[in-house]
Chain A
Amino acid sequence: MKPKSNQAAVGSVQCDNTTMNLLKVNDFVAKAIRDRLPGILVVNICSSPGSGKTTLLQETGKRLKDRLNMAVLVGDPETERDAIRMRDVGINALQIVTGGMCHIEAQMIYQALDHLDLTGVDVLIIENVGNLVCPAAFDLGEDYRVTVLASTEGDDKPRKYPRMFLTSELLLVSKADLLPYVPFSVEAVTEDARAVNADIEVITLSSLKGEGMDAWCAWLEEKVQEKKASLIPA
């Protein structure tokens, strides 16, 4: 920006892209989060409401409790219900109430970190607000973004919500136990997701029945190891 407070602005002012980027504050805080959590894997989990994110994390926590130290920040427009559900199964969890907002912003994570005991934590999972649109634009300082899509939501979502799938490294097709009963093709959703993002990995799972949970937990453990290894200077 050229004109500053001591100069009177007149006429038309062309704005510099870096200083007038409306997401710049968020991106700045996201970087601060990365700097604050060296060696801790941060995973941002996004999906529509009701895709089974909380159930997935409850089951993940139970399976990995002896192998990984996991902490969860869970965002919802209202209530503390999801954090309570996580704590019920022994997961170190803190609720972020967004007060009606449709997404989590980096500032909310940064502030929440002050209230979460991160001693010995290997992986911090952020359960975003259920919404396939807005959260896609907000970097929360994560290493990986994972999108959960339930078989009951339909296999046409990647092309409808492209930015979410474009910015995710992993797609989890959840509620796989319902696949025999719903018109959902894992092949079709994979093809659609890869039209948007050729590199996206796909794991099909059922949190309740256990199918695919080993593959998901193995993915998570592998990324934790990679993150720890990144701390050791080459």
Chain B
Amino acid sequence: MHEISLVRNVFRTLEEEFPNDIDKVRTIRLKVGLLSNVQPILMQNAFQAVLEDEPRYRKTSLEVEVLPILIYCDVCDKTTEVHNYRFACSCGKPSRQVVQGEELLISTIDFD
């Protein structure tokens, strides 16, 4: 359900930005942070489902890139990747300063 509304959001955003070029959109690439709770396979399924009602996008494909979670540590002035959702720097200090991982972005669009 959530993915369906996201796919509709992608289309709505494209229609606002490129009202005259929707028929030429071939590939939509999304960047989704691991914390966005978006599953690429569910996103693809939702995309296919929404295409049923949106014939204008029948020639369009979707690619979803998942971004790992990165946090910033004040003490080390360093960015660390979060594994197993343990939000701490390698120095041991906990950090909630997420610099990557919450994204839900359209990264590139290919037109004909």
Given contacts A12-B109, A22-B6, A197-B96, contact A137 B85 (CB under 8 A): no
Residue of A nearest to B36 (CB): A137
Q: Take A8-B20, A134-B37, A166-B35 as given contacts and tell me if A196 and B87 are in contact as well, using a CB distance cutoff of 8 Å.
A: yes
CB-CB nearest in chain A for B4 = A101
* Count of chain B residues with a beta carbon within 8 Å of a chain A beta carbon: 36
Residues of B within 8 A of A100 (CB): 1
Q: Is A227 an interface position by the 8 A CB rule?
A: no
* Residues from 39 to 97 in B contacting A, C-beta threshold 8 Å: 84-88, 94-96
Residue ID in chain B nearest A3 by CB atoms? B18
Contact A12 B35 (CB under 8 A): no
- By secondary structure, the B interface counts as mixed
Shortest distance in angstroms between B91's beta carbon and chain A's nearest beta carbon?
A: 13
> Known interface pairs A195-B88, A197-B87, A198-B96. Does A11 touch B2 (Cβ–Cβ under 8 Å)?
no
B9: chain A residues at CB < 8 Å are 22, 25
Chain A neighbourhood of B24, CB < 8 A: 9-10
Q: Are A199 and B96 in contact (CB under 8 A)?
A: yes
Residue A17 at the chain B interface, CB threshold 8 Å: yes
Binary flags per residue of A13-25, CB closer than 8 Å to B gives 1, else 0: 1110101111101
CB distance from B29 to the nearest CB of A (A): 9
Show the binding face of A for B, using Cβ within 8 Å: 1, 3-5, 8-15, 17, 19-23, 25, 100-103, 133-134, 136-137, 159, 162-163, 166, 194-199
Which B residues contact A (CB, under 8 angstroms)? 1-2, 5-6, 9-10, 13, 17-21, 24, 35-37, 84-88, 94-96, 98, 102-112
